[in-house]
Amino acid sequence: MKEIHKYQVPDHFSIREAVKKMDEGGIRFCACINDKDKVIGVITDGDFRHAIHNAIQLDENVMKIVNKNYYSVQTNFTNEEIDDIFNNTIVHQIPVLHNGKLLDIITEENFFGIEKDKKRRNLNIHVVIMAGGRGTRLDPFTRILPKPLIPLGNEPIIKVIMNEFGKFGMKNFFISLRDKGEMIKAYFHDYDIDYNIKYLHKNKPLGTIGALKNLEGYLKDTFFVSNCDIIIHTNYSDFYDFHKKGNYSLSIIGSMIQYTIPYGICEIDDGGVLKHIKEKPQYDFLVNTGLYLLEPNVLKFIPQDKFFDMTDLISKVKENGLKIGIFPISENSWIDVGQLSDYKNIISKLTVK
């Protein structure tokens, strides 16, 4: 790999700093090095999720989550050695070391090829994309185009979303339609797309998921539900395994967002005496991205032909004593194109590339 420093984090970094560096590298992996540039451990997105699930604060030292028992190879490695590690472990990246220093990183995609990634197993389950909203946050574009057809690079947003699912073998889609729905159908009619698409038509506003009621009795197994303005870069099979192993009825992908207050925050005692000022503090929030896994039994909680949001369903599931899981991802693994300002930033980055 070129610029190997992009995939290294010093051992004095905080978890927050390490995750940011891992995001920038783009392979969900970093090697942790000491002051002599020797590799002393590795961190992955799985280690990040472990930190969140165990309420470890992100401002703690990265060594709290570093995996010191990791697989690596030396510069004289053989393909058989790499193949054995990838086939017989859960490892997705292998650092190549020389005298303890990082020279390269072998990823499954590079070794096997993206289409033959052996850990990217097929998930033969249905996906529902909720595409019936008016898209008011993207006004004025949505005065003419439905939000799902707004271009992101060379493809409309909805096609980019479908392609992310397609990487994991998912080909069966339901698309909920209302506002400018015929334009969406016309797009798919005019292109030869290797997906099976069925439509859920709404005659009136039914909230974010009211249309799912029409699938009760039809869907027999776990299925995905996605907003039509979000793109999630993560291992969908890992998310599925998390959902099934936790015996959750509904699971949410949550993104850890860092927010810096651009002011000094005053803390005072009774009577108005200043204790101290915390300058530009940083806070972390785990926010709902809009991508879910659902078991079909939760559809019974959705009323027929009534306005109903996902937040309503989440409340109903909890009220009935069923489990809801949260699968954390890093901030850069989530792209929200629903806000005009965010959309412009994304387009700017695509243009630069």
- The answer to whether residue 106 is domain-embedded is yes
Same domain for 139 and 109: no
Query: b or e along 153-190 (b: 16 or more beta carbons within 10 Å of the residue's beta carbon)?
Result: eeebbbbbbbebbbebebbebbbbbbbbbeebeebbee
Query: What percent of the chain is predicted at pLDDT more than 70?
Result: 89
Average pLDDT over residues 272-293: 91
- The answer to whether residue 237 is domain-embedded is yes
Task: Give me the CATH number covering residue 87.
Answer: 3.10.580.10
Tell me the whole-structure pTM to 2 decimals.
0.85
Same domain for 51 and 27: yes
Same domain for 157 and 34: no
Same domain for 264 and 144: yes
C-alpha 79 chain-centroid distance: 31
- The answer to whether residue 122 is domain-embedded is no
Question: Using one digit for the tens of pLDDT, what is the confidence trace for 336-346?
Answer: 876 656 666 66
Of 43-47, 164-168, 186-190, 245-249, minimum mean pLDDT range: 186-190
Task: Give me the CATH number covering residue 262.
Answer: 3.90.550.10
- The answer to whether residue 121 is domain-embedded is no
CA distances (Å), 191 to each of 159, 174, 238, 250, in order? 11, 17, 31, 34
Same domain for 157 and 96: no
Question: Using one digit for the tens of pLDDT, what is the confidence trace for 178-232?
Answer: 767 788 888 888 777 889 999 988 777 788 899 999 999 999 999 999 998 899 9
Question: Using one digit for the tens of pLDDT, what is the confidence trace for 111-152?
Answer: 777 555 555 678 989 999 998 666 566 666 666 677 788 888
Interior angle at CA 120, CA 131 and CA 252, nearest 5: 45
CB-CB contact of 106 with 97 (8 Å): no
- The answer to whether residue 97 is domain-embedded is yes
Of 55, 83, 116, which closes a domain? 116
Where residue 99 falls among pLDDT bands split at 50, 70, 90? very high
Output 337 or 268, whichever has higher pLDDT. 268
- The answer to whether residue 148 is domain-embedded is yes
Of 116, 151, 168, which closes a domain? 116
Of 116, 149, 177, which closes a domain? 116
- The answer to whether residue 133 is domain-embedded is yes
Same domain for 92 and 148: no
Same domain for 316 and 171: yes
Same domain for 236 and 171: yes
Question: Using one digit for the tens of pLDDT, what is the confidence trace for 25-83?
Answer: 888 899 999 999 999 999 999 999 999 999 998 989 999 999 999 999 999 999 999 99
How many distinct structural domains can be found in the chain?
Answer: 2
Q: Which of 64, 114, 113, 70 is nearest to 93 (CA)?
A: 70
Same domain for 184 and 36: no
- The answer to whether residue 200 is domain-embedded is yes
Same domain for 16 and 141: no
Whole-number mean pLDDT of the chain? 87
Same domain for 131 and 105: no
State the residue range of the domain holding 331: 127-352
Sign for the pseudo-dihedral over CA of 130, 135, 138, 140? positive
Same domain for 147 and 98: no
